[in-house]
Amino acid sequence: MAKKLAFNPYLPSWEYVPDAEPHVVDGRVYVYGSHDLFNGINFCLGDYVCWSAPVDDLGNWTYHGVIFKREQDPAAPKNRITNGLAAPDMVVGDDGRYYLYYFMGGTKMISVAVCDEPAGKYEFYGYVKYKDGTPIGKRNEPFQFDPGCLKDDDGRLYLYTGFAFGGNPILLDGSQPTKKGPMWFEIDTKDMLTVISGDELNYLGVLTGEEAKGTPYEEQPFGEASSMRKFNGKYYFIYSSLNSHNLCYAVSDKPTEGFEFGGILISCGDIGLPGVPDVKHAHMDTGNTHGSLIEINGKYYIFYHRHSNRKQSSRQACAEEIRFEDGKFYQAEMTSCGLNDGPLPGKGRIPSYCACNVYGKNGTKFLSMLKYPRGASPFLTQKGKDREEGPDQYISNFCTDCTVGFKYFDLSQTRKIRVHLQGYGKNCAVTIRTQEKGDVICRIPLDTCKKEQGFLGELPEGLGTKEALYFSVEGKGGTFDFLSFDLL
């Protein structure tokens, strides 16, 4: 059976699963993450869901449904809007069961649920606690948040937590952010709950705030999103820096100390890559990010999320292959082909929502929880309010002098392109380039069309096996919904 085509976002366009922690179990990669709602007023308003795919067919994702509901936690506050289920992680216990470590707003604790299957119905299990039974987070420690887990080769289990953003009074709920970076706890594998590393707080040495100044962490200090992975005998701590849009890493020979800053893994706006110096010049609207690394069949991938709908709380799961050489990871760029193991084929229909570059003539924004005005920028959205009513995402406000880019395609045998739009425009055209600031290779005249209509153009011969496609609107006053395009 042929593999399914993989592209970003790798889940259906109606699904919003950020903060992904991928884990391979019995030949499948399972993704555990938060669950946003389209146009949600806040982060993480949905119950936990799980998706998985065969490791040799990373475009073929299966939905396993809701695996844990918020109300199953006895400490769940009544107010769901400000107290959602945040980023979880999963680890397999000595008993062969699957333990989900998670944080719920309003509790200050790290909770645990358990299941006999990786994507079954999890049951509430308990709270991570000190030996005297006090849950961690209940001794006025720095804020516990975004748990990451590592069960080492020697069987020892470590939990990593922390939150260094001091300007979030709703989330902090009276707690203090960490001023010394992420914390770590060793957990007793007999019960998967009890801290055995002592009553004193232990810090990983990944620096933040004032302590980061004058060190290699100064430009990318720890913010949140703790995740730990082990490759070739070394420990890689993945985190979101205080600038929020970058996933970074630190590396050590030990799981609890000696970490040295490694670099940026990915930015959710490609910030830091050549020609992208800051948020305004980002390739997409930016916000927070969270994810992790995984090795699959000898290749390494970084899982992260992007933002849609002109606000931070409609986040979608993406992944990229990442270069890993001599123990070092190199920043990956955002692409449309993601997990596809190479460029997308130059034949067939491509939905516009797999664009990896979306920005207007005035650049991009770092998003807030409130939608910014439509203005002169294109943006990802959907027609319905939820997955049942609006299953297909698209790009709205595709307007004059904007840019919508897709990477990458094998266009060596592609001769024509048909762009599917609906909207308004007089004396307008779609222009297509293979480089962001390059020459126009195709110009397609447009007409006003109140319903979806395809507009056909010809591509030149001599295009390569790894090409980008950048679409823009030429002419005053053109404003369209960009739905899809066909490569012929």
At a CB cut-off of 8 Å and minimum separation 6, what does 44 contact?
34, 35, 36, 84, 85, 86, 87, 105
Catalytic residue, candidates 73, 224, 320, 474:
224
| Spatial CA neighbour of 45 closest among 76, 70, 73, 72 | 70
Residue-wise DSSP of 297-352: TTEEEEEEEEE-TTSTT-EEEEEEE-EEETTEEEPPPP-SSGGGSSPEESSEEEEG
Name the residue with tokens 């795919």: 53
Residue type, 304: Y
Both tokens of residue 412? 């060596």
Residue-wise DSSP of 211-255: HHTTSTTSSS-EEEEEEEEEETTEEEEEEEETTSSEEEEEEESSS
CA distance 372 to 310: 6
| Residue 170 DSSP label | H
The residues with which 253 forms a beta bridge, in sequence order, are none
- Which CA distances in Å does 59 have to 11, 348, 451? 8, 16, 31
Q: Is 353 helix (H, G, I), strand (E, B) or coil?
A: helix
Can 333 be counted among the known catalytic residues?
A: no
344 burial (CB, 10 Å; 0-12 / 13-18 / 19+) is buried
Query: Which strand (E) or helix (H) includes residue 169?
Result: helix 169-172
Can 19 be counted among the known catalytic residues?
A: yes
Task: Identify whether the C-beta of residue 187 lies closer than 8 Å to the C-beta of residue 135.
Answer: no
Phi/psi at 328 (5° precision):
-115, 135
Residue type, 281: H
Q: Is 426 helix (H, G, I), strand (E, B) or coil?
A: coil
130 burial (CB, 10 Å; 0-12 / 13-18 / 19+) is middle
Catalytic residue, candidates 19, 146, 321, 467:
19
Active-site amino acid positions: 19, 224
